[in-house]
């Protein structure tokens, strides 16, 4: 059910999402420091909390430089695309009963469509920079997204079969008796891996691999344009964590605590998992990344869909 106060929901979810994304900069540094046995930000403000504010001021104060050899209109619009597509996806995320901007009956398809459009930001940024490292990063991102989008969608079809709907609210309600993590554990693992690839997080950050491509697709960016890529990545992590919570862990459902608290607790747990993976996993070669997608992940996603379909047909019809 769509929120009775749509404008309040729009501004509330927008502000919370952007606040979480900026706060994740501090959270990630602190958690990485904890897991790697070092201090992390601890000088600017209590526990280093004002480090994010200091970094933001520094970013705003930097010269917003556009390379003279770049395709300027495309170069300028590329960072905005990733912000728009990710924030559009939040429109269909049910945070709690009545806290949703738009309760679409095809919300899951809308999420997949927006995540697919997000790659245009990376590809256009790499191409318009007229830099060989940026171009390589953009081409890598296109190949990576195309490959992992395929089984990301297939990994969710088991959830659709069990719930009988593409509506995210219906999917949450379908988990009253049992969370889908139990019957769809393989689908969850596949979606988590695809989510890592979609958000270009370690170990799948090959479009911006520093050791090979300097900074990949955003090598030529500075100031707030670079900041938009930076925040867009953390928004993507928040979005994928929210989707995992909704699709496999019962969304806002839980005892005693208010629904919105359960939703945020589950979401932040998976954000922590994303950060832990960055702290612990090495980066694969690009050919290995592609081989895993087509030779391992795709067959597993198809097998999961086949078995789930057979079980639903045998026991629920």
Collapse the DSSP code of 218 into the 3-class scheme (helix H, G, I; strand E, B; otherwise coil) and give the result. Answer: helix
- Residue range 26-51: mean pLDDT, rounded: 86
pLDDT confidence of 4, banded at 50, 70, 90? low
In this predicted structure, the answer to whether residue 256 has a pLDDT above a threshold of 60 is yes
Residue 292: which of 76, 101, 144 has the closest Cα? 144
71 in the Ramachandran plot: left (φ > 0), alpha (ψ -120 to 50) or beta? beta
pLDDT confidence of 174, banded at 50, 70, 90? very high
Residue 297: which of 289, 286, 309 has the closest Cα? 289
Q: How many Å is the maximal CA-CA distance in the chain? A: 64
Element counts in the chain: helices (H) and strands (E): 14, 0
pLDDT digit string, tens, across residues 107-142: 999 999 998 888 888 888 888 887 888 888 888 888
pLDDT at 42: 84
Who has greater pLDDT, 233 or 169? 169
Predicted TM-score (pTM) of this structure: 0.91
In this predicted structure, the answer to whether residue 294 has a pLDDT above a threshold of 80 is yes
- Residue range 235-257: mean pLDDT, rounded: 91
Who has greater pLDDT, 247 or 148? 247
With vertex at residue 68, the alpha carbon angle to CA 62 and CA 73, rounded to the nearest 5 degrees, is 85
d(CA 226, CA 236) in angstroms, rounded, equals 15
- Provide the residue ranges of all domains of the chain, joining segments of one domain with +: 6-315
Collapse the DSSP code of 99 into the 3-class scheme (helix H, G, I; strand E, B; otherwise coil) and give the result. Answer: strand
């Amino acid at each position: 059910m769509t929120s009775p106060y749509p404008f309040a929901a729009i501004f509330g979810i927008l502000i919370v999402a952007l606040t979480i994304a900026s706060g994740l900069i501090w959270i990630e540094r602190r958690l990485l420091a904890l897991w790697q046995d070092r201090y992390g930000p601890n000088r600017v403000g209590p526990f280093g909390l004002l480090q994010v504010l200091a970094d933001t001021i520094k970013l705003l104060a930097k010269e917003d430089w556009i390379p003279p050899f770049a395709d300027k209109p495309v170069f300028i619009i590329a960072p905005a695309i990733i912000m728009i597509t990710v924030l559009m996806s939040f429109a269909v995320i049910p945070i709690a009963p009545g806290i949703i901007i738009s309760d679409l009956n095809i919300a899951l398809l809308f999420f997949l469509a927006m995540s697919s459009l997000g790659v245009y930001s990376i590809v256009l940024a790499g191409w318009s920079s007229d830099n060989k490292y940026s171009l390589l990063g953009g081409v890598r991102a296109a190949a990576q997204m195309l490959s992992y989008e395929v089984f990301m969608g297939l990994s969710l079809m088991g959830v659709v079969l069990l719930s009988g709907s593409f509506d995210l609210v219906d999917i949450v309600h379908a988990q009253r008796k049992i969370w889908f993590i139990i019957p769809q554990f393989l689908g969850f693992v596949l979606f988590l891996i695809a989510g890592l690839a979609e958000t270009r997080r370690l170990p799948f950050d090959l479009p911006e691999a520093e050791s090979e491509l300097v900074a990949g697709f955003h090598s030529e960016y500075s100031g707030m344009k670079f900041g938009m890529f930076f925040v867009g990545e953390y928004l993507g992590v928040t979005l994928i964590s929210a989707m995992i919570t909704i699709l496999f862990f019962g969304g806002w459902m839980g005892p005693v605590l208010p629904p919105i608290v359960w939703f945020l607790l589950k979401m932040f747990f998976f954000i922590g998992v994303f950060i832990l993976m960055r702290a612990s996993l090495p980066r694969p070669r690009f050919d290995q990344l592609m081989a895993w997608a087509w030779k391992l992940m795709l067959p597993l996603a198809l097998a999961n869909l086949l078995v789930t379909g057979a079980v639903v047909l045998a026991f629920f019809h």
